[in-house]
Amino acid sequence: LKLNQFMSHDKLGLWQLGVTHVLNAAHGKLCCKGSDDFYGTTVKYCGVPANDLPTFDISPFFYPAAEFIHQALTSGGKVFVHCAVGVSRSAALVLAYLMIHHNLSLLSSARCVLQKRWIFPNRGFLRQLIALDRELQDARQNELK
């Protein structure tokens, strides 16, 4: 299964997979023009207008995207998370979700995702995920005190 922009345009294929939610990490970019209108009432849509550049700040989207994924999964849904190629922007958001909602470290999150598919977040996204990892670890340490 190719988790990229082309699969995101296959409404029948997504329906056959039981997808109820789509998180587009490349919203509005080139071929990734998903929207609520495109998917209709059967699929909830969330678009993140991220550029796959090391200088792009994707961190403001970590918590909203993680919440979208969490709400979908806890309501019994299936989430399709994609970007243009499926290895950097979407991967960064899935890693953030695992870190925020499953209390995994960045390393554990990456190992978890790499068991299923190849990912390669750009160096800027990795720096931002490392910062998130530190924040979450600090917050957990403070909770224990």
Contact at 8 Å (CB) between 19 and 8?
no
**pLDDT digits over 101-135, tens only?**
999 999 999 999 999 999 999 999 999 999 999 99
**Other CB atoms within 10 A of residue 44 CB:** 17
pLDDT at 70: 98
Domain 11-144 adopts which CATH fold?
A: Protein-Tyrosine Phosphatase; Chain A (3.90.190)
Length of the chain: 145
Residue 2 banded pLDDT, cuts 50, 70, 90? very low
The residue with tokens 């160096």 is 123
Assigned token pair, 13: 């294929």
In percent, the amount of the chain with pLDDT more than 70 equals: 90
The residue with tokens 């340490």 is 141
State the catalytic residue, choosing from 31, 46, 83, 112: 83
Active site residue 46: no
